Amino acid sequence: MYPETGFTKGQVVEYYTGIARYILPYLKDRPITLKRFPDGIGGQHFYEKNAPSFTPRWIKTFSIPRTSVESVINYILINDLPSLIWSANMANLEVHPFLAKAPHIERPTMVVFDLDPGDGADILNSCEVALLIKDLLARLNLECFAKVSGSKGIHLHVPLNTEVSYEASQPFARSVAQLLQSEHPDLIVSEMPKAKRKGKVFLDWGQNSEHKSTVAVYSLRAKGGRPYVAMPVSWEELTRALMKEDRSALFFEPDAALKRARIS
């Protein structure tokens, strides 16, 4: 699956088996978008929303109406170990769940900010932005949690403990992004065009949408040549990495991810 390191499909299955008890609570009842790499990360990949025709009957699914035509998408649910192993054996390296749970897919359980550095910026710049968002949300009495994306970005998750719709959560996320862009224009951009992102961190608020998904915590990533993991990190770790300019402290391969999860 990862030719640069020789990391095989068997090791992918082994990793997901080992991390199952930690990842499954974050996947339960959430529709899943598959990101499959049948020929490894060096070959072509594709996103698959509709459960394949050969999906076993014991895999649970949840139907969601399409936005543009009168039909539905049957998303798979990964609620147990057999489903997770089946997903891994399908070369679904990355697990992308919705922000909402079935059957209440119109009701997100969190707001997500995806910090994506443009050309000339890196994960340390993402750390700077993450800390700015944390401070802003703290002034609003909101708590957020960070995970490194397994690439050069960082994702922030804000739990929603009341019934909130996407019609409220997305404008809120957009307002946060626009405010921080106005305060830190040399560091943050909140607009989509890639030409505006050079040397800055794109604060992507658009993930807060009913039909979008975000890579799960503890998921493998298929970015670059190594099997990095989307890993939860503490604010102390982000601050320390930023102060020491230690980018390597923010990348975790499967063995390190499993060790951290078991210790915690």
pLDDT in tens, 19-54: 999 999 999 999 999 999 999 999 999 999 999 999
Which whole number is the average pLDDT over 137-142?
Answer: 95
pLDDT at 240 over 90: yes
55 compared with 68, residue with greater pLDDT: 55
Q: What is the mean pLDDT of residues 70-94?
A: 95
Q: Does residue 70 surpass a pLDDT of 70?
A: no
Mean pLDDT of the chain: 94
Which three-class secondary structure state does DSSP give residue 147? strand
Is residue 114 helix, strand or coil?
Answer: strand
Least confident of 54-58, 70-74, 124-128: 70-74
pLDDT of 29 reads: 97
**If you average pLDDT over residues 88-95, what whole number do you get?**
96
Arithmetic mean of pLDDT, 206-226: 93
- Asked whether residue 127 carries a pLDDT value surpassing 80, the answer given is yes
Q: What is the dihedral of CA 36, 14, 223, 256, to 10 degrees?
A: 160
Residue 69 pLDDT > 90: no
Asked if the model's pLDDT at residue 68 lies above 80, the reply is: no
pTM (predicted TM-score): 0.93
The span from the CA of 152 to the CA of 240, in Å, is: 17
Name the helix (H) or strand (E) containing 120.
none
Angle at 243 between CA 116 and CA 192, to 5 degrees: 15
Residue range 165-193: mean pLDDT, rounded: 94
What mean pLDDT comes out for the span 220-228?
93
Q: Please, which pLDDT band fits residue 195 given cuts at 50, 70 and 90?
A: confident
- The residue-averaged pLDDT of 196-211 equals 91
Q: Is the pLDDT score of 264 beyond 70?
A: no
CA distance 87 to 97: 13
Question: In the structure, what pLDDT confidence band is assigned to residue 224 with cuts at 50, 70 and 90?
Answer: confident
Of all residues in the chain, the percent with pLDDT exceeding 90 is 89
232 pLDDT higher than 70? yes
